[in-house]
Amino acid sequence: MRRLPGCGLIMDAALMSPPRRLSVPIDNRWGGGRMSVLDFGDPKRPVDLIFSHANGFNAGAYRSLLSPLSTSLRIWAPDLRGHGASDLPVFARPKTSWRDHRDDLLALMETIEGPPPVLAGHSMGGTASLLAAAERPDRVASLVLLDAVIWRRSAMLVFNLPFAHRFLSRIPIARATLRRRALFASREEAMAAYRGRGAFKGWPDMVLADYLAEGLVEGPDGFTLAATPAWEAANYAAQAHDPWRALRLYCGPIRILKAEHGALTHVPSSPRGLPHVSVEVVRGGGHMFPMTHADVTREALFEAAV
């Protein structure tokens, strides 16, 4: 990969190689197991970037976003707890927040040698990265948050009240997730069911195929979702964490890209008292802009990590 004036990122597909799959042991209060990690780039160089996916997705869904960067960067993309090929237990403790994903990322970071990497992530993965950086700012070079879930401060006060997760479990997105179809006769059937619909509207077929390659598990009755609807819905309802506190605690550079339409990042363009935070709007992009606007997303990741 190289940068030419006025030409953005120039990528040579011949230099790309498929990511390796690592299995990293994780053991913390949420239950131990192995975290599956896609390892992009030269294995001899330090890890430059750790990228975490959105709720219900997996690392493989971002393969076409991250692969071109592997000519210059080494990237680890984990399957978060309850997603993809990771076998970390779910519901081992009551699910009220994303501190489990935070702690899993902290454990993953402890296995990395060399200088602190950039943490980046989409939606829930961005929020989990922010929470991890606030706990161990010395282990994080900077943050790139792609429409991370950061509700308004007033909403976060409500979400952190005792037992708030009980009424959050009844919000429309959580209830709709529980009704989601979870069994398909084939990958082709799943592809046809998802193409151009709902959250997948506007996705290139290659990106959708990457998501399904890692997001479906073959069993005796067909293909089921690796991230079960129950776990995905539980993540939507588990909002008793505080990303605003994390924005204050982590004082390194934080670059936020948020959607123009339907943004889940409720951070203003010039957030008061947070001079280290920059916020940009992805024009024409919805919450899934890493899939539909890969070029601007990839450029932000590249600029942070070089």
Other CB atoms within a 10 A radius of the CB of residue 165 amount to 20
pTM confidence score:
0.94
Nearest to 170 by CA among 82, 123, 236: 236
Mind listing the pLDDT tens digit for each residue in 47-97? Answer: 999 999 999 999 999 999 999 999 999 999 999 999 999 999 999 888 999
CB-CB contact of 123 with 146 (8 Å): yes
Nearest to 133 by CA among 255, 250, 306: 250
- The per-residue pLDDT for 92 is 84
Question: How does DSSP assign 209-271, residue by residue?
Answer: HHHHHHHEEEETTEEEESS-HHHHHHHHH---S-HHHHHHH--S-EEEEEESSS-SB---SS-
Decide: helix, strand or coil at residue 277.
strand
- On the 0-12 / 13-18 / 19+ scale of CB atoms within 10 A, 178 is middle
- The per-residue pLDDT for 164 is 83
The C-alpha atoms of residue 16 and residue 73 are separated, in whole angstroms, by: 11
* Cα 106 to the center of its chain, rounded Å: 15
Nearest to 55 by CA among 121, 3, 114: 121
Residue whose structure tokens are 């708030």: 164
The C-alpha atoms of residue 64 and residue 294 are separated, in whole angstroms, by: 8
- The per-residue pLDDT for 16 is 57
Block means of pLDDT (10 residues each) for the chain, length 306 residues?
Answer: 41 64 97 98 97 98 97 97 97 92 98 96 98 98 98 92 83 91 95 95 96 96 96 96 97 98 95 96 98 98 97
In CATH, what class is 16-160+240-304? alpha beta
CB-CB contact of 292 with 285 (8 Å): yes
Write out the two tokens for 229: 């609807």
